[in-house]
Amino acid sequence: MTAGSPPTELDPTAVVGLAAARRQVLDRIAEACAGVGRDPADVALVAVSKTVSVDRVRVAVAAGLTVLGENRVQDGAAKADALPDATWHLIGPLQSNKARRAIEAFDVIESIDSLDLARRLDRLTREVRGLPATGAVPDDKRLPVLFQVNVDVDPAKAGFQPTDLAAALPALLELGALRPDGLMTIGRLVDEPEAARPTFRALGRLASELREAHPRLGPEMSMGMSDDYPVAVQEGATIVRVGRALFGDRPSPGTPGAG
């Protein structure tokens, strides 16, 4: 299906199947929260729809998966055009030449990994949304963003180094068209979920330290994927990015961000 074409009739069996998968993930989130005294309502589920067709994403929305994550701007923009009532997160790397389209298509950008990119997004958000070129912006017009942190200092991953983020944060927080909701990280590739815990715990410590020094940094922590999201929840995740546990195995496009 392409944007603008009439929707196909939903398969009730497919809706039931995805609703059951959603329930299973939410139950595991609730179980993880119960173990550490958290409220499950404080954890948002982002259903990662990379490589999933628009028709199947439409089924997912009908099954209650209304917050969706995409790794690539072009793919996500096409789906967002077809399904404008869903909430769309960009969770993969953002090239500066695609920043304007990302602002137009996505409700949240989770992958801000440099001050230069943030400055470009601030300027373009003002242009796209008809805002003043400088100065304060009404909160409902600001673009919600997360700052991606390479907690493990892994050369294969994008994101701010923790010390670099600490140095850049005062300037980032001055970008009035962006709403700094919090931090995001990609966990290490491990054989056992428990082995990802040090990454998640490190992001939690960093977030606490940064918010103590800069209270304007928001409370969100986006971390955890299909293999390890319960561990991430135990360590304070407020957003988990789950794809395979909902949609099943899919061909990988080679872009990190979620699974």
- Residue 99 sits in a domain of what CATH number? 3.20.20.10
Name the percent of the chain lying above pLDDT 70: 93
Query: Is pLDDT of 247 > 60?
Result: yes
92 and 114 in contact (C-beta within 8 Å)?
no
Instruction: Count up the domains in the chain and report the number.
Output: 1
Tell whether 6 is covered by a domain: no
Establish if 66 belongs to a structural domain. yes
Helix axes 54-62, 12-36, angle to 10 degrees: 60
Long-range Cβ pairs for the range 20-23 (8 Å, 24+): 21/63, 21/245, 21/246, 21/247, 22/47, 22/63, 22/64, 22/65, 22/246
pLDDT digits (tens, 9 = 90+) for 124-172: 999 999 999 998 899 999 999 999 999 999 988 999 999 999 999 999 9
The range of the structural domain enclosing residue 97 comes to 12-247
The C-alpha atoms of residue 113 and residue 131 are separated, in whole angstroms, by 24
Token output for 217: 């940094």
| Assigned domain for 63 exists | yes
Q: What pTM, to 2 d.p., does this model score? A: 0.93
∠ CA 30-112-245 to the nearest 5 degrees? Answer: 30
Give Cα 69 distance to the centre of its chain.
6
| Residue 124 falls inside a structural domain | yes
Per residue in 2-37, pLDDT tens? 444 455 689 999 999 999 999 999 999 999 999 999
253's tokens: 């496009």
Task: Give tens-digit pLDDT for 204-218.
Answer: 999 999 999 999 999
**Residue 147 counted as domain residue:** yes
Instruction: Answer whether residue 198 is part of any domain.
Output: yes
Q: For the chain, what is the mean pLDDT?
A: 93
In a domain, 259, yes or no: no
Amino acid (1-letter code) at residue 225: M
Please check whether residue 132 lies inside any domain of the structure. Answer: yes
